Structure 1
Amino acid sequence: MRDTLVLAASKTSGPWTTHDTRLIIAAVAGIALVVLLIAAFSVHPFLALVAGSALTGFAAGVGSADIISNFEDGVGSTLMEVGLLIALGAMLGKLLAESGGADKVVDTLVDRSGPRLLPWTIGLVAVIVALPMFFEIGLVLMLPVIVLVTKKSGLPLMRVAIPALAGLSALHGLIPPHPGPLIAIGFLHAQLGITLAFGIVVAIPTVIICGPLFSIVAARWVPVEGPESAGGVDTSRAASGDVARPPSFGVTLATILFPVVLMLAKALADIVWDSDMTQPVRVVLDFVGEPLVALFLAVVLASVTFGYAVGFDSRQISDRIGASLPPIAGILLIVGAGGGFKQTLIGAGVGDTIGKAANDSGVSILVIAWLLAAAIRLATGSATVATTTAAGIIAPLVAHGQSDSHLALIALAVGTGSLIFSHVNDAGFWLVNQSFKLTVGQTFKTWSVMETLLSVVGFGFVSLLWVVV
């Protein structure tokens, strides 16, 4: 890790050159082309992202072979991490909807919460689900519930979706054991417990402001209803008529939370046993708590609780699982291309160029941490890349003798900066766009604005704690 830190610092040292200026112009041109092709000419997002990647690479002076390999690497790594999870999540969601389990959860939430409290309830559920999960996995799991709650309650889609997205995204950027916060903690030598405590203090009011409260405004800006299908799950009707025994609320909730519990158990085991891999329990939890394994086991469990237990036979279960996959093909292509565009920017050196601009600025270390992570996030589209790069640059600049509290807050400043303004070079942008069937403009008005609010409001609370502690 220290070698990585030194490498990150060395790449961002030295004077600003004309090549750095060229990289910034290339990045802006590529992003502008993607937006123009989609918004003005209705080009499919996948093709627009391919074209934007090519323009960025050539404009940055990258060789044609490297442009192709960077894009392919980005697509491959993104789909390797997210694609299989989206597919497994779609299978789980399909069984959840077809068995009547989704309706059971939705009916219970609507009946017990009421329209006024529903956005708050959904936000709380998202926070719980997000504790051990990557953003993409949490969204895949919650997607059928979000859309069905929207339809049953009569609320605008954004009143339900924004609180869920805020909870999922805030925890991904601020709370260990998510990779971004852990990387920042390691690079800055911050204390895990203190960072976790401060992260929770920052995340709770930030999610409230940017989730349930902002959803009121977002619903007015984009007054859309829930889509008829989401993530491979048909939400236009209730449970299938051939369900003999719909699952109970308890069984449904236990099945949904099963992968969450497995991943949370892995996270706790990593903290309790640290690097001790000789503990048999640690070995087992490390395996079953991996997102891919946890979701696979959840699909196996759902085949029983949402399949055999409700009266489906093996063929009916298989047919439903198979039917969940075709609708997500387009989503996978677009999400993969978003990852390819991100890697094109990173491979060209845009992140390193932005780091140079921060090294000799003379601004407060807390502000530099936030600005640097925000700039790299805007340029590369990846919160994790922004956190890794920014933390590596900031670490050598942190003055010796900083208190553990201040080190934790610097790590959180990096985390809040990494959440800012998600746009066309972020695979998450396209996942939200395609999942909720939004236009690019609608996605900017809701998801992108919400992410920016999370970043700014979260940094505001971090700054307040900096003054207090």
Structure 2
Amino acid sequence: MTDPLFILAVGVLIVVGGIIGLKLHPFLALLLGAFVVALMTPASVIEQYAIAKGTAPAAALALSKKSVGERIATEFGATCGKIGILIAMAAIIGKCMLESGAAERIIRSMLRITGIEKAPIAFIISSFFIGIPVFFDTVIFLMMPLAKAMTLRIGKNYLLLVLCIMAGAAMANSLVPPAPGPLFLIGEMKIPIGTMMIAGTIVGLFTITSGYFFALWANRKWPIPLRDSLDARLEDIKAIAAKEDAHLPALGISLLPILIPLVLICADTAFSAMSAEQTSSIKPIVNVVHFLGEKNLAIVAGGVAALLILLSQKKSEKEGLTPFVQAALMSGGGIILITAAGGAFGGMLQQSGISGRIAELTKGYQMALIPLAFIIAAVVRTAQGSATVALITASGILSGMATNSQLAFHPVYLGLAIGCGSKLIPWMNDAGFWIVCKLSNLTEQEALKTISPLLVVMGVTGLVVIMIAAQLFPLV
């Protein structure tokens, strides 16, 4: 009854069963799972876990004597501290880019580079990079009308465009911070945010390439026409497509909310990787970059840029920015709560000693940890439908291993494997499945035979790339 694997099974069963069987909100299901796991874990195991992490014996004993509620609340608050500001600002950036027309300007500029015939490539690349600071559903809401408008222009390839949008947005959502899942994952597994951003982007480009080729095949095998609908009439789509470029912000300005945090964080990562001797001559610059490159400040800077762009576009309107910010925070607040509850659940799993148990099982072959991370995330995603919950659960289980000094490769590979595993397998228990299905006017059967295998192909491609990279470039 006290075996960490048994406790894990019970915890996952409660979370998955609560969400699917009892139709509980993920926030409640995760908190309930955390409570049961905490209740099942003996005080002696909690004390051993704390000591193994380097906690002083007195502090470890004090932790083991805390009540279940105190331990859950502590982990909940710690997670909020890690990701609260980041998710809130990411929500503001996404809303501002959508309302100001910045995101649409980026998409149109990409189309001018690739041309109409190569529109699918522009769509998959645009959805990937916009999906970095913008929530998955926002990318779908933004780009699906453009896919319909583009289909009206070229008269074909509607399914191809839909799958390209889905592919890009889905992979960015699970691989590249500041998307909520990767943000939680890097905090839990102690992965530098710059490292995850760079590595996630590289792996993401491999995965969306395989997704693009699958989309080409699916489009030839099951051509699906553009359909009229009450919520997206073809006449309205034509009006959107005819919108003047003069009413949109310039491309350079539109890119600022994305580029500012990316550049600052990556610069901080680059300077941190240099030795003290290399940076001594430019110490004032290094100090400024370290200050601004801190992830919370960097994302706030991106948010300020997004707000200024929106303000310049809406300066003639009397209500100001408050309605837009409020709507964004309402969206981001729910994600913060779910993610923090997931942090509490993961923290209780850690205190059960699950990482040590898994370490014993994988002692002889550490590379088995990468497919194990992938499989855990895939099982949780398929069972309960949320990629974010899958990321949270898998990172909670494996975070102890990620910080193991004897690990033969950088923990970023474990994080990437979890991200790719969280893509498998979307079906009717997945909110994103329904968003794409309804906005694209695909039937459930059409979505199941196109969207679901698309993400399986990309997830497995990512696993293969990660395994090869961990062998060739362990980064340790």
TM range (shorter): 0.5 to 0.7
Comparing 292-301 with 198-207, which one deviates more in the overlay? 198-207
**Matched residues in 2 for 1:436 and 1:84: separation?**
28
Shift of 1:24: 1.7
1:260 and 2:268 equivalent?
Answer: no
**Identity within the alignment, %:** 11
Contact persistence 1:89–1:140 (CA under 8 A): no
Contact persistence 1:33–1:52 (CA under 8 A): yes
Deviations 1:396-443 (A, max 9, x none): 4747xx6xxxx35x742542234313599xxxx76786698689x899
Name the CA shift for 1:110/1:94 in 2 (closer, same or farther; >3 Å): same
Q: Select which of 12, 27, 30 maps to 2:12.
A: 27
State the partner residue of 1:371: 372
Contact persistence 2:148–2:226 (CA under 8 A): no
State the partner residue of 2:209: 208
1:294 and 2:277 equivalent?
Answer: no
State the partner residue of 1:52: 29
State the aligned residue count. Answer: 404
Shift of 1:104: 5.7
- Other structure's SS at 1:125 match: helix
Superposition pairs for residues 421-440 of structure 1, below 5 Å?
421=422
Shift of 1:344: 3.9
AA aligned opposite 1:347: G
- Other structure's SS at 1:158 match: helix
State the partner residue of 2:345: 345
Shift of 1:208: 0.8
Deviations 1:241-290 (A, max 9, x none): 9x9x85377x4322321122212221332134328774265257437961
AA aligned opposite 1:158: V
Shift of 1:57: 3.9
AA aligned opposite 2:366: I
Name the CA shift for 1:335/1:448 in 2 (closer, same or farther; >3 Å): farther
Alignment TM-score, normalising by the size of structure 2: 0.63
**Matched residues in 1 for 2:401 and 2:138: separation?**
35
Name the CA shift for 1:376/1:336 in 2 (closer, same or farther; >3 Å): same
Instruction: List gaps (5 residues or longer) in structure 1.
Output: 1-15, 39-46
Instruction: List gaps (5 residues or longer) in structure 2.
Output: 40-66, 152-157, 274-278, 381-387
AA aligned opposite 1:267: I
Superposition pairs for residues 6-405 of structure 1, below 5 Å?
17-18=2-3, 20-38=5-23, 48-60=25-37, 62=39, 65-66=69-70, 69=73, 73=77, 76=80, 79-96=84-101, 113=114, 117-129=118-130, 135-137=132-134, 139=136, 142-143=139-140, 145-154=142-151, 155-156=158-159, 158-169=162-173, 171-172=175-176, 202-211=203-212, 213-214=214-215, 217=218, 238=239, 247=246, 251-274=249-272, 278-279=284-285, 281-282=288-289, 285-286=292-293, 290-304=298-312, 306-308=313-315, 313-315=316-318, 318=320, 321-324=321-324, 331-332=331-332, 334-349=334-349, 353-362=353-362, 364-372=365-373, 374-375=375-376, 381=389, 383=391, 386=394, 390=398, 392-393=400-401, 396=404, 398=406
Deviations 1:205-242 (A, max 9, x none): 32211356258659969999899999xxxx9785699x
State the partner residue of 2:48: none
State the partner residue of 1:12: none
AA aligned opposite 1:359: A
**Matched residues in 1 for 2:419 and 2:352: separation?**
15
Name the CA shift for 1:21/1:388 in 2 (closer, same or farther; >3 Å): closer
Contact persistence 2:168–2:208 (CA under 8 A): no
Name the CA shift for 1:358/1:129 in 2 (closer, same or farther; >3 Å): same
- Other structure's SS at 1:137 match: coil
Name the CA shift for 1:377/1:357 in 2 (closer, same or farther; >3 Å): farther
Alignment TM-score, normalising by the size of structure 1: 0.64
Name the CA shift for 1:370/1:70 in 2 (closer, same or farther; >3 Å): farther
Deviations 1:125-182 (A, max 9, x none): 345557xxxx453658745542332231232473242232245246528xxxx86897
Comparing 69-78 with 152-161, which one deviates more in the overlay? 69-78
Deviations 1:303-335 (A, max 9, x none): 22x345xxxx2526x2xx455467667744642
Comparing 200-209 with 64-73, which one deviates more in the overlay? 64-73
Q: Cα RMSD over matched residues? A: 5.3
Shift of 1:70: 6.7
Comparing 390-399 with 26-35, which one deviates more in the overlay? 390-399
AA aligned opposite 1:421: S
- Other structure's SS at 1:315 match: coil
